[in-house]
């Protein structure tokens, strides 16, 4: 079945390219919007998991993401480079796997040293480059280091969002500090918190993106744009925000999403209503679950709003949309991934190298080039987005690598797939972890420094929950030895 789905995908791509070398490829460079969610699990989306949940179980509704998936290709076996946000984002932006990237493990706000990024690659190809939303890897904040990898210093022409990691723990930004992290909003290098206070961040960032697109079409219609849109849904939010009257975790908005969409500038929400509004379809659920689902559906509303805006501007069919998440679902700050099956059919959560921590939702929509409604179940990894985007900027469709463990060189950086290594800064129960996938097989080990480094082996196509360790099977010893050698070779790189 898996091979059949892969064949269907490749057939769809071939047909699309044959009929439409015609389409966006060959008729000017496409705009590109890269949407990165925060802690959104593989199973949090309707198209992957929620729509198939049994009757009687709570469901999260994501109709706009479902339509986005139906209009392009869904990557069912897409992996993040690391199961927590800072290293994952650094690998995405630099095109470097964790064995090569300068920012590894649980190092929030530490600057990354690479100067070649998605921003520089797209700028070299003539794109206007924008970053909106969460950054968290500039320096400053919790790291206490100098701010040396600000978006404007890493290939982006414009930045609007929050630089420090802990600012992602609130959806209502304000002037104030938590453990050295500034909780406000920055526009380029200037504080812009005044115009952002009292506005739910999903709405705020979506309105800013719509404004950027409108202004660009009006002033530079012949120049393509690249947008790195890093929303903070569904990262947990804490009670540390003293500017809210209602301090419940998992912040929700104070009003429904406007039927006509958001527009810049937004009016502030009334203070007494902030962090109170629950989607009508979720009001019968317990508070944490209702909040979790409301925040995700709010993000889904924003995606629908953005898509309609692109259509209104006449650029929807000239724009590639990529959607994915930085890592698997979290079990913190009020989030309970068990309620909705946020990890889907997998074991593991954020900070785990098991499938639930590493597999993330992923969609590519490229009208006229990628056939609508296709599914690609071949494994791919998030640092390869640089390769994909560089090719797209040159007018070429280049599928994500068909094997996670591959070695390839690319003009914009080396990207050796398949290998992942992660160590929780504060001594997580799993300690230093490694994982590699080759074909349908995954080898992993945990607590390496503590001596608990037995390599486990799973066929994740047959056993997605990784319930059956095959490392003791007599007929798998050659495979086990080969994959263990990969882990040994890269330990501590």
Tokens 């009257």 belong to 245
Tens of each residue's pLDDT in the chain, 493 residues:
444 444 444 444 443 433 333 334 445 899 999 999 999 999 999 999 999 999 999 999 999 999 999 999 999 999 999 899 999 999 999 999 887 899 987 788 999 999 999 999 999 999 999 999 999 999 999 999 999 999 999 999 999 999 999 999 999 999 999 999 999 999 999 999 999 999 999 999 999 999 999 999 999 999 999 999 999 999 999 766 778 999 999 999 999 999 999 999 999 999 999 999 999 999 999 999 999 999 999 999 999 999 999 999 999 999 999 999 999 999 988 888 999 999 999 999 998 999 999 999 999 999 999 999 999 999 999 999 999 999 999 989 988 865 654 332 222 222 333 444 555 544 455 677 888 898 999 999 988 877 767 999 999 999 999 999 999 999 999 999 999 988 887 665 4
Domain ranges of the chain: 2-418, 433-490
- What is the number of H-type helices and E-type strands within the chain? 9, 18
Beta bridge partners of 31: 319
CATH number of 433-490: 3.30.1120.10
Task: Report the CATH fold assignment for 2-418.
Answer: Alkaline Phosphatase, subunit A (3.40.720)
Q: Which of 342, 229, 240 is nearest to 293 (CA)?
A: 342
C-alpha dihedral, 406 to 409 to 415 to 416, nearest 10°: 30
Q: Which residues contact 195 (CB under 8 A, 6 or more apart)?
A: 185, 265
Question: Looking up tokens 């040994």, which residue turns up?
Answer: 488
Helix axes 287-313, 63-70, angle to 10 degrees: 50
């Amino acid at each position: 079945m898996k091979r059949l789905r892969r064949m269907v995908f490749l057939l769809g791509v071939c047909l699309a390219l044959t009929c439409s070398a015609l389409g966006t490829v060959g008729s000017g460079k496409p705009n590109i919007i890269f949407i990165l969610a925060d802690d959104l699990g593989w199973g949090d989306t309707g198209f992957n998991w929620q729509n198939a949940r049994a009757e009687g179980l709570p469901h999260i509704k994501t109709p706009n993401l479902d339509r986005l998936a139906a209009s392009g290709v869904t990557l069912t076996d897409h992996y993040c480079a690391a199961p927590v946000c800072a290293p994952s984002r650094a690998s995405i932006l630099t095109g470097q796997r964790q064995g090569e990237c300068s920012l590894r493990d649980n190092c929030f706000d530490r600057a990354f040293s690479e100067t070649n990024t998605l921003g520089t690659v797209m700028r070299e190809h003539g794109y206007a480059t924008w970053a909106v939303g969460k950054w968290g890897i500039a320096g400053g904040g919790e790291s206490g280091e100098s701010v040396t990898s600000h978006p404007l210093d890493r290939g982006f022409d414009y930045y609007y969002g929050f630089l420090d990691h802990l600012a992602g723990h609130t959806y209502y930004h304000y002037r104030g500090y938590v453990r050295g992290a500034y909780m406000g909003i920055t526009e380029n290098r200037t504080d812009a918190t005044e115009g952002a206070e009292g506005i739910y961040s999903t709405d705020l960032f979506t309105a800013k993106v719509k404004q950027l697109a409108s202004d660009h079409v009006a002033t530079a219609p012949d120049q393509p744009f690249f947008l790195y849109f890093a929303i903070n849904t569904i990262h947990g939010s804490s009670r540390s925000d003293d500017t809210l009257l209602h301090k419940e975790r998992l912040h929700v908005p104070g009003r429904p999403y406007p039927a006509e969409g958001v527009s810049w500038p937004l009016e502030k929400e009334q203070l007494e209503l902030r962090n109170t509004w629950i989607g009508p379809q979720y009001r019968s659920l317990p508070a944490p679950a209702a909040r979790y689902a409301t925040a995700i559906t709010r993000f889904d509303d924003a995606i629908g709003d953005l898509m309609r805006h692109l259509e209104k501007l006449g650029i929807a069919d000239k724009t590639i949309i990529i959607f994915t998440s930085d890592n698997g679902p979290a079990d913190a700050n009020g989030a309970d991934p068990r309620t909705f099956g946020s990890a889907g059919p997998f074991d593991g959560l954020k900070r785990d190298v098991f499938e639930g921590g590493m597999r993330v939702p992923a969609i590519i929509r490229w009208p006229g080039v990628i056939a609508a409604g296709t599914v690609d179940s071949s494994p791919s990894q998030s640092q390869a987005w640089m390769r994909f985007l560089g090719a797209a900027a040159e007018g070429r469709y280049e599928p994500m690598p068909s094997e996670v463990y591959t070695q390839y060189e690319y003009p914009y950086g080396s990207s050796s797939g398949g290998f992942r290594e992660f160590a929780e800064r504060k001594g997580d129960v799993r300690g230093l972890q490694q994982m590699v996938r080759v074909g349908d097989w995954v080898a992993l080990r945990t607590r390496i420094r503590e001596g608990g480094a037995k390599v486990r082996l799973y066929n994740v196509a047959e056993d997605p929950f990784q319930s059956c360790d095959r490392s003791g099977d007599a007929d798998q010893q050659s495979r086990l030895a080969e994959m263990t050698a990969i882990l040994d070779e890269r330990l501590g790189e």
